[in-house]
Amino acid sequence: MIAEPIKDHHLFIVVGILLIIDFIILIPWTTVFPFSSEKQIKMMDTLDNNLIDAEVIVYCHNTKQVYWFITMYVYKGLLLAFGTFLAWETRNVTVEELNDSRNIGACIYSVVVVCLIGVPLQHILPTDQINPAYVLETCILLFSTTTCACVIFLPKIHNRNKVRERMLTKPATALSTQNCACSGHPSNLNVVLPGTSMDSSHM
């Protein structure tokens, strides 16, 4: 079997297919089973002048959302498993600059650890704990995305700067050539045989 090189348009096609799968899952989720807003009164205080101070929490809810969450988790878990497989298969790439298997493995590891900790907490927290849930979700998103971006792209930026610095500090070399005119006629070639001198070779 002859290995064919992967071109840029192949990668764009793969990314497009993954986006289409996301749309196939999300569009029915939002159209067939739309979310409905529900209000929950957390705290009420009676103030003077017949005023009531109430804290109302509005959140989106769907009776079938647990099935969609499971579908998304399974799909994204399979993507992480496939990424782990690709990182393992490309671990023996000889060109160090093109071998991203360790970096990809580190990204997958960080995402899996964060999801194992954050996703259950996100579902366990009660709906009235809106501030802790929001902080937790924001920290998970920022940490995972920032970690992946730094692990993947910072080494590439470092290598690029090293190459650029090497090119800028490379000493200038000048090649000098000497013009020489040599005749290819056999009479101009001096041949010295073993055991003879230069003078005897002219005889």
The tens digit of pLDDT for each residue in 164-196 reads 777 767 554 444 444 444 444 444 445 444 455
For residue 68, give the nearest of 113, 22, 108 by alpha carbon.
22
pLDDT value, residue 19: 92
Q: Cα 6 to chain center, whole Å?
A: 17
Mean pLDDT of 6-29: 87
The mean-pLDDT minimum among 107-111, 115-119, 156-160, 184-188 falls in 184-188
pLDDT value, residue 199: 52
pLDDT value, residue 47: 66
pLDDT value, residue 177: 44
pLDDT value, residue 196: 53
**Cα distance between residue 41 and residue 99, in whole Å:** 55
Q: What is the residue extent of each domain of the chain? A: 8-167
- State pLDDT tens for residues 38-84: 887 776 677 666 777 777 888 787 878 888 888 889 999 999 898 88
| Residue 200: strand, helix, or coil | helix
Percent of the chain with pLDDT over 70: 76
How big, in percent rounded to 5, are the helix, strand and coil portions of the chain?
A: 60, 10, 30
